[in-house]
Structure 1
Amino acid sequence: MPHDTPAVKGNDRSVRNTERRAERRAEMVDAAMDAVREHGAGVSVADIAKRAGITKPVLYRHFADRADLQRAVGEKSAELLMERIFTALEAADSEADEAALIAHIVDAFLAGIEDEPELWHFVVHNTAEREAGSEIVEDVQERIARLLSILIGERLRAAGLDSGGAEVWALGLVGMVKNAGDWWLERRTMSRAALTSYLTTLIWGGLGGVLAAAAPGRGTPAPGTPAPGTPAPDPTLRAVPDPCEKERDHA
């Protein structure tokens, strides 16, 4: 039986070392995410290293700098968020219409940032490394937009309309949902179900307007009418006060 040559053994060792470094880096990313959950979005690199059971110099053998670490955490967080969205879609009723599927996507996104608010702030709103976070956010927005553009495009094509605007509309809608999600995390003036309903109604109403313009008689949802398949807003929750109303009362 032929023996392995030194070159082959050296290659095997190199592959094993590369795999081990990748494993160690992944372990450190998991530790960093746990540290963010424990200490908040302003967690220090020292806290992250401590959580991983190593020193800062060892941590920086695997990451070029804090931005590299934040980017790695963001990529892992993005994967978890996309898994949540795909799981929600897979669990959806096979007969669900496009409006219900849009509601599933919106709600899964909101559930993701609701369950991991510190990770969301660490990746998206970290002022020290904003550029690294913006890269991750753009990637997530594009991936979610692709899902929405498929749903919007299918609906437009089924109506015999031009679907060329589906992608740009989807990107705009995802940006809207992201900004609304940021506002909601800070304010919490309504339930997640209510916010999902309002956003889905707005998204579906916009598409309904396009369809109605091309085919009179279809009609668009009445203002405030939830889109088909979306949860109804919780009537027990208070509305956001209108500052203009106070001014009118004292006028």
Structure 2
Amino acid sequence: MVAAAMGAIRRHGPGVSVADMAAEAGITKPVLYRHFTDRADLQRAVGEEAAGLLMARIAPVLLEDREPADHIRAMIDAFLAGIEDEPELWRFVVHNPAERGAGAEVVDDAREQIARLLATLLGERLRAAGLDSGGAEAWAHGLVGMVQSAGDWWLERRTMTRTALTDYLTTLIWGGVAGALGGTGTGQPGQAPGGPLRLIPTPGPTSDQTAGDAARARETDHG
């Protein structure tokens, strides 16, 4: 019945009626409600299945052994590919105005799973570099929220390709991660593979360098 409900959502969009979902399963609404308390209960079941589909894309990518910038890019692309392939299902679970709260815990749980895996990855990278890993969990949740928000915007607007959005987000995120890692990893800090921007400015001169330059300038002025 959940699979049939998902088929109805794909066909009719996030505003699909319970009658449409029951018809997709070849049953009546009363029969459907013998198995689900109400629409919210059905939406919760659909949300759990949809979250499983998304996690099936993202979790293997997070567990792969990649260079940091490539890892970030692959994770972002896996998420965007997931919502691109199932736009109506994503809208039904996350943004259905009729039952906004029904799938909230499902979405939160999926986000928590992704953030937990990402925090582990960041923590390992930071510790391997001999750096403090205390911020890994906070960063992971922030990154997941940013990518989800950007994905929502992109799904509605489509003003750029998925590849372009992936590049922009990777550039921004890699700039921060590379800074935290002290520039370790593959590629230049702030420059994702194929990314269009460089967000980390070139470091300015140190105070000792500035003083030395000033002294040499005075010597030149005085011949």
Give TM class, smaller chain. Answer: 0.7 to 0.9
Q: Are 1:46 and 2:19 an aligned pair?
A: yes
Shift of 1:211: 2.8
Q: Does 1:78 align with 2:51?
A: yes
Residue 189 of structure 2 aligns with an amino acid whose one-letter code is P
Give the drift of 1:150. 1.6
Aligned residues: 195
- Asked if the contact 2:62/2:117 (under 8 Å) is kept, the reply is no
Match of 1:159 in 2: 129
* 1-structure distance, mates of 2:139, 2:109: 16
Deviation at 1:231, TM superposition (A): 4.5
Q: Is the contact made by 2:10 and 2:89 (CA closer than 8 Å) also made in structure 1?
A: yes
Letter in 2 for 1:172: G
Q: State the partner residue of 1:3.
A: none
Tell me whether 1:118 sits opposite 2:81 in the alignment.
no
Give the deviation of 1:195 after TM superposition.
Answer: 0.9
> How far off its partner does 1:189 sit?
1.2
Q: Which residue number in structure 1 is paired with residue 205 of structure 2?
A: none
Equivalent residue, structure 2, for 1:182: 152
Give the structure 1 partner of residue 68 of structure 2: 98
Q: 2:215 matched to which residue of 1?
A: none
* TM-score of the aligned structures, taking structure 1 as reference length: 0.72
Indicate how the Cα distance of structure 1 residues 211 and 29 shifts in structure 2: closer, same or farther if over 3 A, else same.
same
Partner of 2:182 in structure 1?
A: 212
| In 2: Cα distance, 1:71 partner to 1:231 partner | 39
Q: Deviations over 1:43-92 (max 9, x none)?
A: 000000000010101101110111110010010000011111234457x6
Cα separation, partners in 2 of 1:77 and 1:188, compared to 1, 3 Å: same
SS of the counterpart of 2:131? coil
| Structure 1: distance between partners of 2:11 and 2:152 | 21
- Whole-angstrom distance in 2 between the partners of 1:231 and 1:134: 35
Which ranges in structure 2 are unaligned for 5 or more consecutive residues?
197-223
The answer as to whether partners of 2:170 and 2:195 remain within 8 angstroms in 1 is no
State whether residues 78 and 136 of structure 1, in contact with CA within 8 Å, keep that contact through their aligned partners in structure 2: yes
In structure 1, the gaps of 5 or more residues are 1-27, 234-251
Which of the numbers 177, 189, 200 marks the counterpart of 1:221? 189
Superposed counterparts of 1:19-30, under 5 Å: 28-30=1-3
Identity in percent: 70
The answer to whether the 8 Å contact 1:125/1:133 transfers is no
1:33 aligns with 2:3: no
AA in 1 matched with 2:77: D
Moved over 4 A (4+): 87-90
> Normalization by structure 2: what TM-score?
0.81
> What is the aligned partner in structure 1 of residue 172 from structure 2?
202
Cα RMSD (Å) of the superposition? 2.2
Cα distance, 1:206 vs structure 2: 0.7
SS of the counterpart of 1:124? helix
Alpha-carbon separation, structure 1, partners of 2:117 and 2:166 = 17
Partner of 2:201: none
For residues 60 and 118 of structure 2, the distance between their equivalents in structure 1, rounded to whole angstroms, comes to 15
